[in-house]
Structure 1
């Protein structure tokens, strides 16, 4: 049946799936991204600022590249998924600019059936490249995919994934910067690499309520066709009984909120790991807080350093108390997102 998508039995370790269709990133995407998420990081906001420090113009928000590459993979990877479970080994390899055309593909690197036999976990490494072949992004994600039935179930293959991206792999993520031209007043803060300390916790203060129209617009904008996000009628008969908000929408909202306190951490260079801990729905209000886990210089770079940040998203719970775990040692009931990132910040 056309558009039925792959079921668990269809994923064979080693297969490479080329995703339709290439997409050219436009200034319209940038404007809609801004309207949806309110990103205020200056490098992605001001051509004049970006050009002064060494970019040809403002690059697009890093998560635009993520959404475009991710959205292309959905019809082939997660159309029949119950849930997107996690991320690892993500690298943003070069800036993306309006006019760049992105192409996406995924390699199946692991499969594991569940004990119930009605679903299985599938691991894929998804890559995004420009039309000229230059890589811009790669990451691993794993999803819980439905079993169609009537066919044999595969043997388990679980990939060995790194706990974190090696900082030495992050140095090409942005051009060399002229820090003498970095204007702290325009960027919104004078805090740089040396001004943060490991263990520091930052309450990002603001909350943002997820609106039905906005998360539906985002799902269509990024060409994410997963039924759990847009088929309201079909989801009435699901276990949850309503549409889920696309997890990437939550990531972008949390990243936008993180500007308060991380104003100069202008670039996502790596995704060490991440989980959508719990679903979020229209009407929920998202808050966020961050913890500084590590700081590392980059080989051959004295202009920027890498700061490892654990970004936690909470629904209907302000972040001042920094909740992550409940009294039972399990995830706090308010936590919806747990994301471990390498961010680049001027030195």
Structure 2
């Protein structure tokens, strides 16, 4: 009897089933240090316990995107081990901060399936929740992936496509308990710009760039226990290249956005996202942002910005799509998220 796991294929998913993912992960200060070694992350709330405590938190949390990686990584063996592509995200919410010492585990509910017309693959939608050791949800989000079929002759399931919000309302966002920006130190944060200094429609070129190398990508993907074959095994792609994990691009772009958005401290909502084109070692990632919306949260002194974060591999800033509506070939990531910022 075979004891190894080849992973799930498209015909193995049933709408309504809940999958408990192995393996629980206790995070520590080491994850924060390694995250800052892998990316040029400098947001003060995630760099300093003292700064976080001045903002009403008990200590500096694990970076929001790092917490997302931990939750996401748990799901890969069950959801995207045999995926051809991770297609998008929606309705993502950070419910509470993750701190050193927390143990994170993940579950996913299958909420949609649709076989592709070629009969060789299909799209699977899942709603994933990350829980801490107290059973509290720390993150939940929807993602969908294109997954290979094991048997191309297997009958197509009934198509179910979930009805998802195009964007979260500000009322959907969770401001962490105790968070206050009343004693916020703009000098230590690195920039003077407040919520009121940003205008809807404004675009920001984050200026800096980082060339992606195999070593950092492989270390990051292992750190998050992401086992997707396309990130490790050169035989998994016809071109013989290891695909850079999309989350690696997200983290790099978010870190680069510090230059111009240093006070957009906490990511609390993920409205949507697309990995527009593949990223490979040797590509230089640059980033720009557009302010899509802004709102007051109901917590005094805490505002929210809805931001489009675009990562490119050298393309001109503020260019996104060609005349036919398709992403330009230099665009790697198009991410739509909400962040908290001092008013």
Scaled to the shorter chain, the TM-score interval is over 0.9
Report the counterpart of residue 272 of structure 2 in structure 1. Answer: 273
CA distance 1:127–1:177, change in 2 (3 Å): closer
Q: Which of 77, 86, 106 is the aligned partner of 1:84? A: 86
Q: Which of 182, 188, 191 is the aligned partner of 1:189? A: 191
Report the counterpart of residue 322 of structure 2 in structure 1. Answer: 326
Report the counterpart of residue 239 of structure 2 in structure 1. Answer: 240
After superposition, the C-alpha distances for 1:121-150 in whole angstroms (9 at most, x for unaligned) are: 000000001011111000000000001115
Question: Are 2:172 and 1:169 equivalent residues in the alignment?
Answer: yes
- Please give the residue correspondences for 1:33-44 in structure 2 after superposition, counting only pairs within 5 Å: 33-44=35-46
Report the counterpart of residue 310 of structure 1 in structure 2. Answer: 308
Shift of the alpha carbon at 1:24? 0.5
For the Cα contact (< 8 Å) 1:288–1:318, is it kept in 2?
A: no
Partner Cα distance (1:141, 1:57) in 2:
30
Report the counterpart of residue 294 of structure 1 in structure 2. Answer: 293
Structure 1 SS opposite 2:177: coil
For the Cα contact (< 8 Å) 2:90–2:270, is it kept in 1?
A: yes
- Please give the residue correspondences for 1:186-265 in structure 2 after superposition, counting only pairs within 5 Å: 186-232=188-234, 234-235=235-236, 238-265=237-264
Partner Cα distance (1:131, 1:240) in 2:
42
TM-score (norm: length of structure 2): 0.97
Partner Cα distance (2:133, 2:97) in 1:
14
Structure 1 SS opposite 2:188: helix
- Please give the residue correspondences for 1:110-121 in structure 2 after superposition, counting only pairs within 5 Å: 110-121=112-123
Shift of the alpha carbon at 1:318? 5.0
Shift of the alpha carbon at 1:153? 2.2
Q: Which runs of 5+ in 1 are unaligned?
A: none
Shift of the alpha carbon at 1:3? 1.9
Report the counterpart of residue 154 of structure 2 in structure 1. Answer: 151
- Please give the residue correspondences for 1:137-148 in structure 2 after superposition, counting only pairs within 5 Å: 137-148=139-150
TM-score (norm: length of structure 1): 0.96
Structure 2 SS opposite 1:179: coil
Shift of the alpha carbon at 1:174? 2.0
Report the counterpart of residue 93 of structure 1 in structure 2. Answer: 95
Partner Cα distance (2:5, 2:244) in 1:
21
After superposition, the C-alpha distances for 1:23-50 in whole angstroms (9 at most, x for unaligned) are: 0011111111111112100011011111
Shift of the alpha carbon at 1:87? 0.3
For the Cα contact (< 8 Å) 2:306–2:337, is it kept in 1?
A: yes
Partner Cα distance (1:313, 1:330) in 2:
15
Partner Cα distance (2:190, 2:79) in 1:
40
Shift of the alpha carbon at 1:325? 1.4
For the Cα contact (< 8 Å) 1:21–1:72, is it kept in 2?
A: yes
Aligned residues, how many? 340
For the Cα contact (< 8 Å) 2:182–2:301, is it kept in 1?
A: no
Q: Which runs of 5+ in 2 are unaligned?
A: none
Partner Cα distance (2:183, 2:86) in 1:
41
Structure 2 SS opposite 1:207: strand
- The range that moved more, 46-55 or 277-286, is 46-55
CA distance 1:178–1:274, change in 2 (3 Å): closer
Partner Cα distance (1:14, 1:49) in 2:
43
Shift of the alpha carbon at 1:180? 3.4
Question: Are 2:6 and 1:10 equivalent residues in the alignment?
Answer: no
